[in-house]
A and B are shown apart, each in its own frame.
Chain A
Amino acid sequence: MYSRAYSRLVTIPPLLWVTLFLLIPYLFLFCFSFWQVHAQVIVHSWTLSNYGQLFHNPIYLQVLLRSIRIAASVTLLALCLGVPLAYYVSFRSGTAKNLLYQLVIIPLWVSYLVRAYAWKTILGSNGVLNTLLQYTHLAQHAIGFLLYSPFAVVLTLTHIYTPFAFLPIYASLEHIPRNLIEASQDLGASRSRTFWKVIFPLALPGIVAGATFAFVLSLGDFLAPLLLGGPSGIMISNIVVSLFGAAYDWPLGAAVAVVMLIFVMALIASTERLERKLSFT
């Protein structure tokens, strides 16, 4: 056992870190959301008008809904890719298991910016894809909607966040006792029946966790819409950034951020509860 003094000592750095870099900034953010800007100066008078503006000006709600739509599409696609991939790596890859796992993880070592730019060179009017399509005469003119559109944002975010969805799904698949799979086959179930009746229900907590990762991360993303979204692909984080930047309306930006924060926290709390409810081990 460690001494009490030692136990206290080791808890100080993380506590300090959380307080300095999380709690205090959140508190600032929360306070700012109730203040106002008058003649380019932030006035510390308490008001709810920022929140009022959020709900009355349709642009904020519109962008928020679009962000949710994009995040939901990314989540769906990440699951469609992540679940079969995780199943394959965990159950069917045999000796290549570690290699495949590493191959899924390696893209995470590459800077996000580099990956987003890569999609820009692929999807642009003079990009790899358009050049190829025109060269093979599959398209007469460059296809415009590939880049600077919600499509480009969804594609890029799916590419970037699928590994994040993959990891918890893979972990939950790895935790399924293999004798359950054998028991299912032994009782006469086919491979697909075994997947849907045993593997899938037991992997559900991991799938929910993976979906939460993909959704929350892409909902708050701002680089992909900035680089590839164009005007029609703007997301809520871009609005926050511009409110804090060019618009110099920190209080309104803070209000958007607080609403987002509450929304995401409620989402995480409910998916966590769902994961616990679905877990059997």
Chain B
Amino acid sequence: MTGLLSLRGISKRFSNTPVLRDVALQIAEGEFLTILGESGSGKTTLLRIISGFERPDTGEVWMGTQRIDTLAPNRRDVNTVFQHYALFPHLSVFENVAYGLRAHRVPENEIKSRVEAALAQVNMTAFTSRRPTALSGGQQQRVALARALVNRPRVLLLDEPLSALDANLRRQMQSELKTLQRDVGITFIFVTHDQEEAMTLSDRIALLRSGELEQVSTPRDLYNHPQTEYAATFVGQTNLLRDGSQLLSLRPEHIRITTRDTVAGANVVRLKGTLRRQTFNGPTDLLEIECENGLKLTVRAPNQPARPSEIWLEWTRDAAVPIKPSCTHERTAG
């Protein structure tokens, strides 16, 4: 993969509050990268620096061999799908999608074929002459996608585009979005606060925390090998263990429930505990168990209506991943 977009030492303050601190990130051609973070982590600001609606205080944005952070938004080869779609209410679906092509003075016959192709790509051909206000949220979402993609940008930015949709439609749009991205082969930079969405969609996740990049890795790597306490707790659930001075992260599903008589292997930790609480979670139950040594653990197990209160637990030592502790003065997400 070749580097397409390069963020170099980006910092930004709003009235003396630092929003981004020395963010450096390389994004490859055709990659689906998600910027994941809580609200206030600076993820939208980072996106707006790429689209050109904010200027970084320090740092540079490069696309290929061209520096773009000095260019106006309309001169960048980047398009955005806005959080609330931002469709033009006075224009039909067709004219909304044609807007960028007309701005670039594309010939009329080419406009027609490209708009139709873009609308076909998002299954909105039947709505060509409708006004955006006559469309549902999901349909508006598709039009917004078509309007951005029809310009064949080198990078497509998506600012929490699915946050306004209900859960089922959201899942459907997630899979459509992923398919679409594979088909068009355009680099997607997707901003979200939803870690599940980030894991489902992305090739890589850039976890942003208070304006700094906490970890950049594949979803699998981020989940299985979080480098910091923050990464481990923000993405999925985890148990924090201490082994001497070393902090460890142990995922609830890596703890097995076993019986008193099982013989522990060489690399296995065995503990006896008391079941304090059991939460039904669909396919699995979440168990809160207090161990004999005072340790409280969350365990994920296949769902089962009744369990004995005395429970034996075990896990392999490798399952507990060493992590760096978070600075104590900063808030950690649960």
**How far in angstroms is the closest Cβ of chain A from B155?**
12
Structural contact, A187 and B86, CB atoms closer than 8 A: no
Query: Across the interface, do A202 and B89 meet the contact criterion of CB distance under 8 Å?
Result: yes
Q: Which listed residue, A182, A198, A202, touches B73 by the CB 8 Å rule?
A: A182
Smallest CB–CB gap between A178 and chain B, Å?
Answer: 9
Residue numbers in B under 8 Å from A177 (CB-CB): 84, 86
Q: A182-B86, A280-B90 are in contact. Are A187 and B53 (CB under 8 A)?
A: no
Q: Is A180 an interface residue, CB under 8 A from the partner?
A: yes
CB distance from A188 to the nearest CB of B (A): 4
CA distance A255 to B133 in the complex (A): 47
> Which residues of A sit under 8 angstroms from B103, Cβ to Cβ?
184, 187-190, 193
Contact partner, B88, options A188, A193, A198, Cβ 8 Å: A198
User: Could you say which residues of chain A place their CB within 8 Å of the CB of B88?
Assistant: 180, 183-184, 198
Asked whether B187 is an interface residue with its Cβ less than 8 Å from the other chain, the reply is no
A187–B151 contact, CB under 8 A? yes
**Complex interface bits, A175-208 against B, C-beta within 8 A gives 1, otherwise 0:** 0010110111111111001000110011000000
B246-284 interface (Cβ within 8 A of A): none
Instruction: Write out the residue numbers on chain B whose beta carbons fall within 8 Å of the beta carbon of A281.
Output: 89
- Select from chain A the residue with minimum beta-carbon distance to B53: A182
Inter-subunit contact B51/A186 (CB<8 Å): yes
Interface residues of B in 80-98 (CB under 8 A from A): 80, 82-84, 86-90
B90 touches A202 (CB 8 A): yes
Judged by a CB distance under 8 angstroms, whether B100 is at the interface is yes
CB pair B90 A189 closer than 8 Å: no
> Which residue of A is nearest B99, CB measured?
A187
B104 touches A188 (CB 8 A): yes
A183 close to B82 (CB less than 8 A): yes
- Binary interface profile of A, 157-188, with partner B (CB < 8 Å = 1, else 0)? 00000000000000000000101101111111
Shortest distance between the CB of B73 and any CB in chain A (Å): 4
Which residue of chain B is the closest to A190 with respect to CB atoms? B74
Chain B residues within an 8 Å CB radius of A280: 89-90, 131, 133
Chain A 251-281: CB-based contact to B (< 8 A → 1; otherwise 0): 0000000000000000000000000000011
Task: Kindly state whether residue B11 has any CB partner on chain A within 8 Å.
Answer: no
Binary contact readout B51-88 vs A (1 if CB under 8 angstroms, 0 otherwise)? 11100000000000000000011110011101110111
Chain A contacts of B131 at CB under 8 A?
280
A residues 193-230 near B (Cβ < 8 Å) are: 193, 197-198, 201-202
Chain A's interface: helix, strand, loop or mixed, by majority? helix
- Size of the B side of the interface (Cβ < 8 Å), in residues, is 27
Complex CA distance for A193 and B103, rounded to whole angstroms = 8
Q: Contact between A187 and B79 (Cβ–Cβ < 8 Å)?
A: yes
Q: Please count the residue pairs between chain A and chain B whose beta carbons lie under 8 angstroms apart in the complex.
A: 66
Q: Which residue on B lies nearest to A194, using beta carbons?
A: B74
| Chain A residues, Cβ within 8 Å of B148 | 187
Q: Which of B75, B89, B104 has the most CB of A within 10 A?
A: B89
* Contact A183 to B89, CB < 8 A, known contacts A188-B74, A190-B74, A280-B133: no
**Contact: B86 with A185, CB < 8 Å?**
no
Measured CB to CB, the closest approach of chain B to A114, in angstroms, equals 42
Establish whether residues A189 and B74, one from each chain, have CB atoms under 8 Å apart when the complex forms: yes
A contact residues around B73 at 8 Å (CB): 182, 185-186
Selected from A180, A183, A188, A190, the residue in CB contact (under 8 A) with B151 is: A188
The chain A residue sitting closest to B157, CB to CB, is A186
Whether B147 sits at the interface, judged by CB under 8 Å, is: yes
Q: Is the CB of B82 within 8 A of A182?
A: yes
Task: Return chain B residues, CB-CB under 8 Å to A197.
Answer: 99
> What chain A residues lie within 8 Å of B90 (beta carbons)?
198, 201-202, 280
Which single member of A179, A190, A201, A202 contacts B82 (CB below 8 Å)? A179
**Contact A185 B82, beta carbon cutoff 8 Å:** no
CB distance from B321 to the nearest CB of A (A): 41
Closest to A189 in B: B103
User: How far, in Å, is B229 (CB) from chain A's closest CB?
Assistant: 36
* Interface set of B (CB-CB < 8 Å, partner A): 51-53, 72-75, 78-80, 82-84, 86-90, 99-100, 103-104, 131, 133, 147-148, 151
25 contacts between A and B (CB under 8 A): A177-B86, A179-B84, A180-B86, A180-B88, A180-B89, A182-B53, A182-B80, A183-B80, A183-B87, A183-B88, A184-B88, A184-B103, A185-B53, A185-B72, A185-B74, A186-B74, A187-B79, A187-B147, A187-B148, A188-B74, A189-B74, A198-B88, A198-B90, A201-B90, A280-B90
- In order of increasing CB-CB distance, the 7 nearest A-B pairs are A187-B100, A280-B89, A183-B86, A179-B86, A188-B103, A189-B103, A185-B73
- List 15 other contacts, CB 8 Å, given A185-B73, A197-B99: A180-B86, A180-B88, A180-B89, A182-B82, A187-B103, A187-B148, A187-B151, A188-B74, A188-B75, A188-B103, A189-B74, A189-B103, A198-B88, A280-B89, A281-B89
